Amino acid sequence: MLHALFAIASAALLTIGLDPPESATPNVPDKMEQRINHVSTYLTSDSKAEQGQALRELGSDTLADVVEAIGKVNLWEDKEAGYSSRKIAVSTEGKRGGKTLDVEVHLPEGYDAKTAYPLLIAFHGQGGNGQQFIRASVALLGEHAKDFIVAAPTDYNGMWLGSSAAESAEPLALIGGLKHLFHIDTDRIYVLGYSQGGHASFLLATFYKDQLAAAVSLAGTCAIQMGAECLDVLLPNIHTTPVLAVYGADDQSKDEATEAPIGIAVWNRYIKQQAEKLNLPITMIELPGVGHGGVIPPKDAFAEILTKKRPPLSKTVSHRFRYTTQARDGWLRQTQFSGDPWTSQQLIVSPANNETVGEAMTAMLKEKLGYLGGKIDGQTIHIETHLCGQIEVLLNDDLVDLDKPITIVVDGTVRFEGTAKRKLRTMLDIAKDDWEFQRLFPVRFEVGRKGKAVQR
């Protein structure tokens, strides 16, 4: 009744040449504001009823409208700038909750939760802690510290090939916890570490490259722990993520038995050779006259790598891994591992005739490690897997034309032919699970070991 009277009064005022007073206009949220509110409800609520209602409210909107709303949603609270301590839940046996990690955080002056900031995760060396290393990291950023969120965990796990299955879930949980706490530009997440932390940064670039823009390793190396053959098998993972490794030329010693040189400098020189051979985006800087301490990256090289952005989704995927939590690269993910747990002590090499020990080791590692490979050629998606009981294929219009039929071929067998349906719920569910709003997928296929691929 009141709305009708308002409309009549407004019409009368317009008839005599007057505009209705602004105060008389009902305060009704515009359509985009409503969309943002519905998206926010879906992403933050654990109530199926609330999520269902939000989905129904969004049902009449186009996917493009909802994508725009996701880009404008603000899910974070303003927090005081400067240093603070946080406890972040990390995964236990692949599930969030349980164990927590102590993390020191530095927010730049004027931190505004409505703005997405680049994130630098800093890993301390052996015997260190986050409180010490975060201050060193902020100092290393210098004038750029005003632009970054910096986070430094203490006693981190899951950064090694030899980590347990439970520990291997912690890196993603740490990144996820930070993304929930702070408004982070997920195309600009960097890792930095010194010594043991440098090893960790290198390994994160190896196994979690789809999360990172770049990695910086100081006085560290890609510490695979199992010899050059294992490094040769895993190093090609780093084909899209830039790595800057800075180390001292004197950071080496001699093997007591053979007198052969060993140590970080020796290992990094080998990595440099392999990276050049494979055309990998790894920059190695050796500092003459420097040992394990006092490694400082050249200012220009450090500043330059912190301008890198996570590259757009590639239509080509190639990724080896040990655990399911490491088994994700862009639009391909393993959700069930069909291999058996193993340790380095269980890797027994038995060379065949005319086969070297190195060749036998390489072949055995490729057999023991899982593999996800994929190539999108037009509307056909070719996928190769090893030790994958089940995988997910995530698609959007940057990868294929979703208005046209697609074909999914897995290990030589056609598993789907037809037109995929863009699903709003799918896009929101993946965004909610990953807390990732800059890469959106409205199509998800689940592919088991047998049968047709099923769209979820």
- The CATH number assigned to the domain holding 272 equals 3.40.50.1820
pLDDT: which is higher, 288 or 20: 288
The last residue of a domain, from among 42, 72, 102: 72
Do residue 201 and residue 134 come from a single domain?
Answer: yes
In a domain, residue 352? The reply is yes
Supply the pLDDT for residue 347: 67
Do residue 130 and residue 248 come from a single domain?
Answer: yes
Task: Give the H or E element holding residue 293.
Answer: none
Is the pLDDT score of 272 beyond 80? yes
Supply the pLDDT for residue 345: 56
What string of DSSP letters covers 119-167? EEEEE--TT--HHHHHHHHHHHHGGGGGG-EEEEESS----STT--TTG
Q: Report how far residue 386's alpha carbon sits from residue 320's, in angstroms, rounded to the nearest whole number.
A: 9
Flag the least confident range among 56-60, 171-175, 234-238. 56-60
Looking at beta carbons, which pairs linking 404-407 to residues 24 or more positions away fall under 8 Å? Answer: 404/379, 405/379, 406/379, 406/380, 406/381, 407/379, 407/380, 407/381
Supply the pLDDT for residue 304: 97
In a domain, residue 311? The reply is no
Instruction: Kindly report the average pLDDT of the chain as a whole number.
Output: 90
pLDDT (tens digit, 9 = 90+) per residue, 98-140?
789 999 999 999 999 999 999 999 999 999 999 999 999 999 9
**Average pLDDT score over residue span 27-34:** 78
CB atoms within 10 A of CB 188: 22
Categorize the per-residue pLDDT at 156 as very low, low, confident or very high, splitting at 50, 70 and 90.
Answer: very high
Cα–Cα distance list, 214 to 207, 265, 301, 304, 328 (Å): 13, 21, 12, 11, 17
**Average pLDDT score over residue span 291-299:** 96
Do residue 167 and residue 243 come from a single domain?
Answer: yes
Domain total of the chain: 3
Do residue 119 and residue 261 come from a single domain?
Answer: yes
Do residue 435 and residue 328 come from a single domain?
Answer: yes
In a domain, residue 45? The reply is yes
Is the pLDDT score of 14 beyond 80? no
Supply the pLDDT for residue 353: 80
CB atoms within 10 A of CB 89: 17
Pick from 454, 449, 437: nearest CA to 71? 437
In a domain, residue 310? The reply is no
**Residue 308 contacts residue 240 (beta carbons within 8 Å):** no
pLDDT (tens digit, 9 = 90+) per residue, 404-417?
999 999 999 999 99
**Average pLDDT score over residue span 49-76:** 94
Supply the pLDDT for residue 262: 84
Is the pLDDT score of 288 beyond 70? yes
Supply the pLDDT for residue 29: 64
pTM beyond 0.95: no
Do residue 130 and residue 222 come from a single domain?
Answer: yes
What string of DSSP letters covers 313-326? PPSEEEEEESSGGG
| HSE toward the beta carbon, residue 298, CA cutoff 13 A | 13
Do residue 154 and residue 68 come from a single domain?
Answer: no
Is the pLDDT score of 369 beyond 70? yes
Is the pLDDT score of 392 beyond 50? yes
Do residue 166 and residue 298 come from a single domain?
Answer: yes
Share of the chain above pLDDT 90, in %: 77
pLDDT (tens digit, 9 = 90+) per residue, 326-358?
999 999 999 999 987 676 556 677 778 888 888
In a domain, residue 394? The reply is yes
pLDDT (tens digit, 9 = 90+) per residue, 314-326?
999 999 999 999 9
In a domain, residue 16? The reply is yes
Q: Report how far residue 180's alpha carbon sits from residue 186's, in angstroms, rounded to the nearest whole number.
A: 12
Supply the pLDDT for residue 111: 96
Q: Report how far residue 126's alpha carbon sits from residue 195's, in angstroms, rounded to the nearest whole number.
A: 7
**Average pLDDT score over residue span 184-206:** 97
CA angle 416, 420, 422 (to 5 degrees): 150
Is the pLDDT score of 361 beyond 90? no
In a domain, residue 185? The reply is yes
Do residue 285 and residue 331 come from a single domain?
Answer: no
Helix and strand numbers, DSSP H then E, in the chain: 12, 20
Do residue 61 and residue 90 come from a single domain?
Answer: no
pLDDT: which is higher, 78 or 227: 78
The last residue of a domain, from among 246, 272, 305: 305
Q: Domain residues for 403?
A: 316-455
Share of the chain above pLDDT 70, in %: 90
Do residue 100 and residue 222 come from a single domain?
Answer: yes
pLDDT: which is higher, 300 or 18: 300
Categorize the per-residue pLDDT at 5 as very low, low, confident or very high, splitting at 50, 70 and 90.
Answer: very low
CA pseudo-torsion sign 19, 22, 24, 28:
positive
Do residue 199 and residue 229 come from a single domain?
Answer: yes
Supply the pLDDT for residue 3: 40
The last residue of a domain, from among 72, 102, 133: 72
Supply the pLDDT for residue 24: 40
Is the pLDDT score of 377 beyond 80? yes
Flag the least confident range among 74-88, 94-108, 237-251. 94-108
Highest mean pLDDT: which range of 46-55, 162-171, 251-260? 46-55
